[in-house]
Amino acid sequence: MNDLLKMTLVLTLICVVAAVALSQVYRVTKEPIAVALEAEAKEAAATVLGPVLSDGAAVDKRAGGPDGAALYVAVKDGQPQGFAFPVVSHKGYAGDIGGMLGVDTEGRVLGYKVVQHSETPGLGSHIQTNEAWLKQLVFCPDGERRTLDSKNTDWRVKKDGGDIDALTGATISPRAVTGSIKAGLEWFAEHRAELTGTVSPNPVEAQDAGPPTPNPKLEEGGVVDQKLPAAVALPKVEKTPPPFTEKTLTE
Amino acid sequence: MSHVQEFTKGLLRENPVFKLVLGMCPTLAVTTSAENGIGMGLASTFVLVCSNVLVSLLRNVIPAKVRIPAFIVIIASFVTVVDLTMNAYFHQLHKALGLFIPLIVVNCIILGRAEAFASKNKVTPAIADGLGMGIGFTLALFVLGSTRELLGSGSVLGVPILSSLIGAIGWDFKQVIVMILPPGAFIALGVILSIINAVSKRMTKAPASG
C-alpha cells in the first residue's frame, strides 16, 4: 500500500512539474511563433504582389480573405492595385499545400508562391522550386497573364485536358496547386466588386469585406506590426485572423 | 570507465546508428539532406542530455515500477520545449524538420539511454553519455544525409559539389532521385553499415595477428 502511494505521488509530481514548465515555455514562445508565421505570410504576399509593388505601392494587411484568412492589399494613392490571399489545397500527395496567390484588380494572376507543403522531396517538392513551372502558372505561352477566363486558361493540368504543365514524375502535386489557384481566382471573381470598392481608409468598411474572426491570441499578445517597412500610413484592421499556415502546420 | 570514455564510446565504438542500430525511424526519414540530419541530430542531443540529467537526478526517487512512464513524461516535455523553441527562433529549420521533432519522443535512443545508463549512474557520467550518444547520432545522420544529398541533389549542405564537378568535366549531371526518396535511405544506410563493419573487423583483427 505504501508502495502504491509513493508511485502515485512521484508520478503525479513529475507530471505537474512538467505541465507547469510546458505552460511557461508556451507562454514565452507564443508570440515569436505568431511573428514568424506572420512574417512568412507577409513575405509571400510581398513576393506575389511584386509586379504591382514595383511602382511604389505598399502592402496593407486586412481581414476578409478566403475562409477567414488574411488578405493583403497592395495600395497606391489610396487605390488598391492588387490582392494577395492564401489558397490551400487539401489534395496534395502528402498533406495540404498552402500557397499565396496574388491577383490584380482585373483578376489577372500576378504571382503564386508555395508557402507550406509536405510533398515528396525531389519530385512533388519541385512545385516550390521549379522556376519554369511556377512561371507558366502566371503567364500563358503567348506572354499574357493568366485569368479565370476559360478562353485564356483552362485551369487543369494537361493530363486532364487543361493548359497547365505537370512536372516530371509528379502530377498530383501540380494538379492540387492548379486546383487551388482556380478556386482562389473563383473566390476573387465572386468578391471582386466589394474588394475593389470597399478598400477605403475606413477600417470599419474594410472589416465589412468579410467576416473577421476575432483572434484572442494575437490581440492579447499585442498585434504584430501589420505593415512592411515602406508602408504608407493606413489605419490598421483591429481584428486579424491567424495566418492560414498556423492551421496547416499544426494539423 | 572514465568520463572521457563515456563520451567517446558514443561517437564510434557504440555509435547509436552504426553500431547499436537504434532510432531508425528518424534516421531514415529526415536524412534527405545534410542540413536536416544535423538539425535533427542536435535537437535529439539536446533532449538526450536534458533527459539523462533529470533521469539521473531522480534515479533514487522514481520507483522502479513506474520508471518508464516517468521517463516518457520527462522526455516528452523536453521534446515539446524543443519543438516550441525551434518554431519560435529557428523557423526555417523547424519547417524542414516539422513532423519529425515530435517523433523524438519515441526515439528509442533516448529512452534506451535513460533506461540503460542514466537511471543507474551519477549526473556527470550521464551528461557525458548523453553528449557522446547525441553527437554520435548527429555524426551518423550527417554522414547519411550528405551521402544521400550528394547523390540525390549533387550538393552537400546546399553547396553544389558533385553537380559542378561533373559539369566541369563537361558531362550532364543527372540526379539519382531514388537516393532522396525513402528507398535511398535504406540503400545508403546498408552500404555505409557494411563498410563500417568491414573496416572495424579488419581493425580488430590487425592487433590480434600482429
Instruction: Summarize pLDDT for A1-53 with one digit per residue, the tens.
Output: 688 888 899 899 999 999 999 999 999 999 988 888 888 888 888 888 888 77
Contacting residues of B for A44, CB less than 8 Å apart: none
* A195 C-beta neighbours (distance < 10 Å), count: 22
pLDDT score, position A198? 54
Contact A212, A239 (CB under 8 A): yes
CA–CA separation, A111 vs A138, rounded Å?
Answer: 6
Contacting residues of A for B175, CB less than 8 Å apart: 122
The 8-class DSSP code of residue B33 comes to S
Contact A110, A50 (CB under 8 A): yes
CA–CA separation, B146 vs B34, rounded Å?
Answer: 5
Contact A113, A48 (CB under 8 A): yes
CA–CA separation, A26 vs B136, rounded Å?
Answer: 30
CA–CA separation, B128 vs B75, rounded Å?
Answer: 18
pLDDT score, position B13? 82
Contacting residues of A for B89, CB less than 8 Å apart: 29, 32
CA–CA separation, B175 vs B173, rounded Å?
Answer: 6
What backbone torsions phi and psi does residue B31 show, to the nearest 5 degrees?
Answer: -85, 40
AA letter at B74: I
Taking only the tens place, the pLDDT of each residue in A111-128 is: 888 888 877 766 777 888
**Burial of residue A228, with CB atoms counted within 10 A of its CB: 0-12 exposed, 13-18 middle, 19 or more buried:** middle
Q: What are A85's three cell numbers?
A: 490571399
pLDDT score, position A1? 65
Q: Is residue A226 predicted with pLDDT exceeding 70?
A: no
Of residues A205 and A130, which shows the higher confidence score? A130
Tell me the shortest Cα–Cα distance from B9 to chain A, in angstroms: 31
- Please tell me which residue of chain A has the smallest CA distance to B77: A18
Q: How confident is the model at residue A140 (pLDDT cuts 50, 70, 90)?
A: confident
Q: What are B9's three cell numbers?
A: 564510446
CA distances to A124, A141, B77 from A170, rounded to whole Å, are: 5, 21, 39
Taking only the tens place, the pLDDT of each residue in B40-88 is: 888 889 889 989 998 999 888 888 888 889 998 999 998 888 888 888 8
- Please tell me which residue of chain A has the smallest CA distance to B62: A10
Q: Is residue A212 predicted with pLDDT exceeding 90?
A: no
Complex confidence, ipTM: 0.72
- A36 and chain B: CB distance < 8 Å anywhere? yes
pLDDT score, position A122? 65
The helix/strand/coil state of B51 is helix
Average pLDDT for residues A159-183, to the nearest whole number?
85
Q: Is residue A191 predicted with pLDDT exceeding 90?
A: no
**A10 with B73: Cβ contact below 8 A:** no
AA letter at A27: R
pLDDT score, position A197? 72
Task: Report the predicted TM-score, pTM, of the whole model to 2 decimal places.
Answer: 0.65
- Please tell me which residue of chain B has the smallest CA distance to A7: B63
Mean pLDDT of chain A: 75
Q: Which residue among A11, A18, A29 sits closest to B87, beta carbon to beta carbon?
A: A29
* A148 C-beta neighbours (distance < 10 Å), count: 18
pLDDT score, position A229? 44
The stretches in chain B having pLDDT less than 70 are 1, 96-100, 206-210
CA–CA separation, A247 vs A32, rounded Å?
Answer: 16
For residue A76, list its beta bridge partners.
Answer: A79
Residues 6 or more apart in contact with residue A161 via CB below 8 angstroms: A154
pLDDT score, position A22? 94
The helix/strand/coil state of B22 is coil
Average pLDDT for residues A69-74, to the nearest whole number?
84
Of residues A223 and A13, which shows the higher confidence score? A13
Alpha helices in chain A (DSSP H): 2-48, 50-53, 126-129, 131-138, 172-198, 203-208, 216-220, 244-250
Contacts made by residues A185-189, CB under 8 angstroms, sequence distance 24+? A185/A101, A185/A103, A185/A107, A185/A109, A185/A147, A185/A148, A185/A155, A186/A148, A187/A66, A187/A85, A188/A83, A188/A85, A188/A103, A188/A107, A188/A148, A189/A107, A189/A148
The 8-class DSSP code of residue A66 comes to G
Q: What are B134's three cell numbers?
A: 547525441
For chain A, what is the total number of helices (H) and then of strands (E)?
Answer: 8, 5
Tell me the shortest Cα–Cα distance from B170 to chain A, in angstroms: 23
Percent residues over pLDDT 70 in chain A: 77
For residue A61, is it left (φ>0), alpha (ψ between -120 and 50) or beta?
beta
For residue A157, list its beta bridge partners.
Answer: A164
> Radius of gyration over alpha carbons of chain B, in Å?
19
Best of A3, A10, A114 to disrupt the B interface (most B CBs within 10 Å) is A10
**Range from A31-40, A186-195, A215-224, B90-99 carrying the lowest mean pLDDT:** A215-224
> Radius of gyration over alpha carbons of chain A, in Å?
22
The 8-class DSSP code of residue A135 comes to H
Residues 6 or more apart in contact with residue A44 via CB below 8 angstroms: A84, A100, A113, A115
Which of A59-68, A83-92, B22-31, B184-193 has the largest mean confidence?
Answer: B184-193
Q: Which residue among A11, A21, A169 sits closest to B69, beta carbon to beta carbon?
A: A11
Q: Is residue A215 predicted with pLDDT exceeding 60?
A: no
